[in-house]
Structure 1
Amino acid sequence: MTQNRTDLSRRTVLIAAPITAVALGAAACGSDDSSGSDGGSTGQTSTGQMLTETSKVPVGGGIVVGDVVVTQAKEGEFAAFSTKCPHQGCAVAPKGDKLDCPCHGSEFNLDGSLVRGPATEPLTPVAVQVRGVDVVRG
């Protein structure tokens, strides 16, 4: 009888494991909802989404927030760009007073313009505005 319980438990685990994995995967995918259905928070919509506080963006530099890099070339002048390098899609990041693509060495100014390739185009701009102390999309 002990042997049957061991076999049954093992069989149950072997059958249930793939079902559990699928269920957990679906739950994980479902929990990453960026549609704004979390109580109406404007932080989850593409327009009006708060990206960062102005005080967190260094003058003469920038910060990465998700898939956006927010820059402040001069005090009070904020801009934002997709982090996706137009060369082959690697994520650019601030490096001193430039935006650097670590994959192939493309370099961009804080206004998104191309300094040197292999990229042949500037970074894609993301519309932003300052609302109080926040930099928001839109």
Structure 2
Amino acid sequence: MTTEDLSTKAQQQAAAAPSRRTVLCTAGLAGAGVMALGACGAAQDAANSAASSASDAATGALKDAVSKATIPEGGGKVFPDQKVVVTQPTAGEFKAFTAVCTHQGCVVSDVANGTINCGCHGSKFDITTGAVKAGPAKEPLPEKKVTVGTDGITVS
């Protein structure tokens, strides 16, 4: 092979092969894509973590706020932020219900005289069962699970 043939062959190979600049740019773009995807995953993980933390904080706040001493016997307490009402119909018996009135979705306002009371339209619910004592609501308040422990009351 002549020198001219070798030179032509080298030029053809160089034209067919990507330049160093092309290789570096492609590698840089691929790396940026991987980092962007990683950032998306990290953002999603952060969002999931924040939602979980908010849920844990709300549960923790309710647990901290609800001690046996804060729920009066024969009465109860409304926790509007958590949309829960906790009652103590008789000594040591704790009940919990959703605090969202079944009439039109208002959060109940208070517990008095053996009933959970909705200030929006006057519905009254039994503190033991959540049953309607006075309308316009027609459905009882859904009951929630109550666990009484040494550190307070947990509602789920």
Scaled to the shorter chain, the TM-score interval is: 0.5 to 0.7
Shift of 1:78: 0.2
**Distance in structure 2 (CA, Å) of the matches to 1:71 and 1:96:** 12
- Residue in structure 1 matched with residue 67 of structure 2 by the alignment: 53
Over the aligned positions, Cα root-mean-square deviation in angstroms equals 2.5
Q: Are the aligned partners of 1:100 and 1:106 in contact in 2 as well (CA < 8 Å)?
A: yes
Please show how residues 28-39 of structure 1 align to structure 2 within 5 Å. Answer: 33=50, 35-36=52-53
Aligned pairs, number: 102
> Do structure 1's residue 94 and structure 2's residue 94 form an aligned pair?
no
Say which of 30, 42, 57 aligns to 1:44. Answer: 57
Q: Map 1:57-96 onto structure 2 (within 5 A).
A: 57-65=71-79, 66=81, 67-92=83-108, 93-96=110-113
| CA displacement, residues 34-61 of structure 1 (integer Å, 9 cap, x when unaligned) | 5237xxxx953759x6251011100000
Counterpart of 2:152, as a letter, is: D
The whole-number CA distance in structure 2 between the counterparts of 1:120 and 1:131 is 34
Task: Give the TM-score, by structure 1 length.
Answer: 0.65
The DSSP-based 3-state class of the residue aligned with 2:86 is strand
Match of 1:104 in 2: 121
5+ residue gaps in structure 2? 1-46
TM-score scaled to structure 2, two decimals?
0.58
Aligned-residue sequence identity (percent) comes to 36
Bigger share in strand:
1
Deviations along 1:82-131, one digit per CA (max 9) or x if unpaired, are: 11000001111212321111111110110211101110010011111101
- Alignment gaps of 5+ in structure 1: 1-29
